[in-house]
Amino acid sequence: MKTIMLVCAAGMSTSLLVTKMEKAAQAQGVEANIFALSASEADPEIEKGAIDVILLGPQVRFMLKQFEEKAAKINAPVVIIDMQDYGTMNGEKVFATALQLMEAGA
């Protein structure tokens, strides 16, 4: 089971992207727990340590450094979601990016 956390300003705009990523995971036969939170809700989830990768929405790109520092404690990669993929809600592409990050860290 792969756990992917998406972080955005309010946790709302990424919910559609989560749905599309879940469909992509299902189509590829990958068990994944994909969820979205606002940046202010992310810390408790990171502290649990059960996250494989953290994807930041383009609107919170300025928080990359602080998320990298938090995620380093649980050895989870952090990346900003490509603005075009985010804007078009390309769940397949964003899920593929998450998988690549997890495989690189494995």
Check 5, 6, 8, 60 and give the catalytic one. 8
Q: Round to whole Å and give the CA distance between 56 and 68.
A: 11
The answer to whether the beta carbons of residues 36 and 17 sit under 8 Å apart is yes
8 is catalytic: yes
Give the N- to C-terminal CA distance of the chain in Å, as an integer.
Answer: 13
**Token pair for 42:** 């992310």
Residues acting as catalytic residues: 8
